[in-house]
Amino acid sequence: MDTKRRITILGSTGSIGTQALEVIEKLSDKFEIIGLAGGNNTDLLLEQVQKFKPKYVYSAKYDKCLGEYAKYTDSLEELCSLKNETDIILVAVSGKIGLRPTLTAIENGIDIALANKETLVMAGDIVMAKAQENGVKIIPVDSEHSAIHQCIKDINQVKKLIITASGGPFLHKNVEEMKSASIEETLNHPNWHMGKKITVDSATLMNKGLEIIEAHHLFNMDYDNIEVIIHPQSYIHSAVEYADGSVVAQIGVPSMHIPIQYAITYPERFEGIKTGSFSFVDAARFDFEKPDFEKFPSLSYAYSAGKKGGNATAILNAINEEAVFAFLDGKIKLYDIYNLIEKITPECDFIKYPTIDEITESDKHARELTKIHLQQKHVNFC
């Protein structure tokens, strides 16, 4: 990186966004921050704007103080259309709001560091086609996909993707224990510190399900050639198997700083934040097991929605997200997330080749149906 890379961060106050700013602070001679966008945490956003001095700022909750330090933009899309001023945009917002701004950035030829998996789960076919059309690089931030990206030299020689999963807090609990799990137990992830929604998804293994779909789009791999294995220590972040049977894996301490930094400095690597060297001797054990598809049906939901294609994965994502919010609100039990998905999916209309508007509409409709079920308590509450 001879010149400073001009970067914008969508979701700068979230878990990935704050860690990205830690990386950038460490590599401050390599980056210029063009824009920061945050959600409702305006206090933190204001602090970030004062410290990192971006040219532009956007907040979901407007605060006039922000405008004193940077030019205020009206939307995430506006931040994503500054093509003469931006080299890369880190999309680290959570949920469906990542989709439209990512498409805008792609249309403007701006490279993407993608931490928002919903963008690909909802509209992977459209997003990847547009990226190719515009010569835009999409570098994954998700640790598994970053690992795969780092393992691949030539995608045409790869036979299979092997995605690892820690198994979450319920790996060795039985179904009954999982059904009666509290919010605290569910949020107690053994290896990773993440936002609440993704931590619940890790407990139900829906996060892994969404990652299967994400991997399918990013690496253009058939679902039958994407395997999930449980690796509780989270040292191997994922692997690829080549045509000749050789397996290449990416290994390291479980820290999101590494994949975040790799995505924004790619193809170069720098020392950056010290996460400590990985020690095989200290790690001592690498355990593996097959995932339990019965205890964690989310993997089957993801494979089947993925193979169906069209708007099926957007529908799955929408129902799941609403169900997770209901769980976090204390309205339903953990297993009701699965119950809601099974109940509502057949009620949604399938579209094989949806437009972006149809995907957004399907997403909205699936959420409305989920909310109606939640109000009427039509799910089989455990």
Residues that bind Mg ion (CB under 5 A): 142-144
Minimum Å gap between C-beta 297 and Mg ion is 19
- In Å, how far are 61, 152, 247, 362 from 322, measured between CA atoms? 22, 35, 38, 14
3-state class (DSSP) for residue 200: helix
Minimum Å gap between C-beta 214 and Mg ion is 9
Closer by beta carbon to Mg ion, 36 or else 206: 206
Tell me the C-alpha distance between 283 and 280, whole Å. Answer: 5
- In Å, how far are 40, 168, 192, 280 from 200, measured between CA atoms? 21, 9, 12, 30
What phi, psi does 242 have (nearest 5°)? -85, 170
Closest C-alpha to 178, from 47, 263, 297, 88: 297
Closer by beta carbon to Mg ion, 69 or else 223: 223
Minimum Å gap between C-beta 145 and Mg ion is 7
Q: Are strands 247-251 and 111-114 parallel, antiparallel or unpaired?
A: unpaired
Minimum Å gap between C-beta 83 and Mg ion is 29
Closer by beta carbon to Mg ion, 12 or else 202: 202
Minimum Å gap between C-beta 29 and Mg ion is 30
Burial class (CB in 10 A: 0-12, 13-18, 19+), 133: exposed
Minimum Å gap between C-beta 147 and Mg ion is 9
Please give the structure tokens belonging to residue 280: 């095989």
Instruction: Give all strands (DSSP E) within 102-187, no chain letters.
Output: 111-114, 138-140, 158-165
Give the residue nearest to Mg ion (CB).
142
Closer by beta carbon to Mg ion, 102 or else 143: 143
Q: Give the contacts of 46 (CB within 8 A, at least 6 positions apart).
A: 63, 65, 66, 69
Closer by beta carbon to Mg ion, 70 or else 113: 113
Please give the structure tokens belonging to residue 98: 């990542």
- In Å, how far are 11, 76, 141 from 85, measured between CA atoms? 19, 15, 22
Closer by beta carbon to Mg ion, 256 or else 374: 256
Minimum Å gap between C-beta 33 and Mg ion is 25
Closer by beta carbon to Mg ion, 54 or else 169: 169
- In Å, how far are 38, 261, 345 from 17, measured between CA atoms? 9, 11, 32
DSSP state of 254: S
Minimum Å gap between C-beta 121 and Mg ion is 13
DSSP state of 228: E
Closer by beta carbon to Mg ion, 32 or else 144: 144
Minimum Å gap between C-beta 256 and Mg ion is 9
Peptide bond into 267 cis (omega under 30): yes
Please give the structure tokens belonging to residue 92: 């680290």
Closer by beta carbon to Mg ion, 87 or else 142: 142
